[in-house]
Amino acid sequence: MKIVDLRSDTVTKPTLEMRQAMYQAEVGDDVYGEDPTVQKLEELGAGIMGKESALFVASGTMGNQIALMAHTNKGDEVICEADSHIFYYEVAGIACLAGAQARPISGQRGILSSDRIKHHIRPQDVHQPRTGLICLENTHNRAGGTCYSVQELAQIKELADSNHIPVHMDGARIFNAATAQNVSVEKLAEKATSITFCLSKGLCAPVGSLLTGSHDFIQECRRYRKMLGGGMRQAGIIAAAGIVGLETMVERLQDDHLHARILAEALVSIGMDIDMETVQTNIVIANVSSFGITAKQAAALLGEQGIKAAVFGEYSIRFVTHHGIEKDDINYTAGIIAKLVKEINAGLL
Ligand code: TLP
């Protein structure tokens, strides 16, 4: 049976060029600062983001958590979006690792405005925690891949600066945000004090993320990475694939965006409930409640037909387009879903 795996862009496999680069990578002990390939990746990543330094970490989660630990003090409050990965999916790391308290606030399709944030910054008061950090997710995963514009980020930065609060951007899919808006990632990253981005999603590397920021900040983060057991020794083997990802896999993200739009439009035309405003990048979130089934049931029905989608809520399923998914796969998927919808409507399922 043909399988179309649309659960996540994390399922992408390293390209042939990546595998060759991994095989040939020059390596050393990175904890001694002696892995030339890791160093090359960190310099490349920092340069692309327009930051002084970068740190290669095992995952996006590790990058975010290290940033939280380095930016905040125990008992601080962290402003984040209510559906953000940092709050929703990182196993309460804010509390457990950083010893900070989350202040989740809902954004508009995942996007927080400076106005919305302003009302949640704590005043100086002996009873209240200090607002230690503002976290933004760009693109916003659970909102369906929505993007912060440069202008929205500039307003938030102005607010944050005037309150002396750093901004951390979870830019797991920052290259998607930049591609969709036709701006440089540097322009988006400029408005954040630190930014994490993933090599192992749309860029297809097998493992790894980069955390970038000022030289001093990254020095501090290096210590926290060691604390978490993230000193990875001959990590050049995996860093090599990340370099290829940054150098060769960014431009093609526009194909993923086009495929997501084609899929979303096809699904809407057969009666699926999708907020098309959110279909800005490579993510499509559909609500299946109008078919009288849950997301779990929908995913199971799709799975039986070889279409893999992620359960994203009681009635929400997520499709993510990525390298390896071609237009034919999208048309095939839409065809299968149309057939299932027909059967459901006819009371056959
Ligand atoms: N997201 C994964 C799942 O954890 C949901 C996915 O399949 O989308 N920030 C954002 C915005 C993310 O979407 C993810 C991964 C991460 C951070 C964490 O990255 P990893 O998986 O490398 O720890």
**The CATH number of domain 252-345, selected from 3.30.700.30, 3.40.50.300, 3.50.50.60, 3.90.1150.10:** 3.90.1150.10
Residue 284: per-residue pLDDT: 98
- H/E stretch holding 40: helix 36-49
Q: At 243, list the tokens.
A: 């370099």
| Cα angle: 27, vertex 62, 160; to 5 degrees | 120
Cα(61) to centroid of ligand 1, in Å?
Answer: 7
In the 3-class helix/strand/coil scheme, how is 138-184 assigned residue by residue?
A: CCECCCCCECCCHHHHHHHHHHHHHCCCCEEEECCCHHHHHHHHCCC
Which of 62, 45, 63 is closest to 54 using CA atoms? 45
The residue ranges of the chain whose pLDDT is under 70 are none
Cα(306) to centroid of ligand 1, in Å?
Answer: 23
Cα(23) to centroid of ligand 1, in Å?
Answer: 27
**pLDDT tens, 111-134?**
999 999 999 999 999 999 999 999
Is residue 110 in contact with ligand 1, taking CB distance under 6 Å?
no
Cα(84) to centroid of ligand 1, in Å?
Answer: 10
Q: At 36, list the tokens.
A: 């030339």
Which of 191, 192, 221 is closest to 209 using CA atoms? 221
Counting atoms of ligand 1 from 1, which one is nearest the CA of 137? 11
Calpha distance 216→222 (Å, rounded): 10
Q: For the chain, what is the mean pLDDT?
A: 97
Residue 348: per-residue pLDDT: 84
The verdict on whether omega for the bond into residue 10 sits within 30 degrees of 0, i.e. cis, is: no
Residue 16: per-residue pLDDT: 98
Identify the residue whose C-alpha is closest to ligand 1 atom 3: 89
pTM above 0.85, yes or no: yes
CA 311 to chain centre: 17
Residue 349: per-residue pLDDT: 78
CATH number of 14-248: 3.40.640.10
Residue 347: per-residue pLDDT: 85
Is residue 155 in contact with ligand 1, taking CB distance under 6 Å?
no
Compute how many other C-beta atoms are within 10 angstroms of the C-beta atom of residue 15: 19
**Domain extent listing, the chain:** 14-248, 252-345
Is residue 60 in contact with ligand 1, taking CB distance under 6 Å?
yes
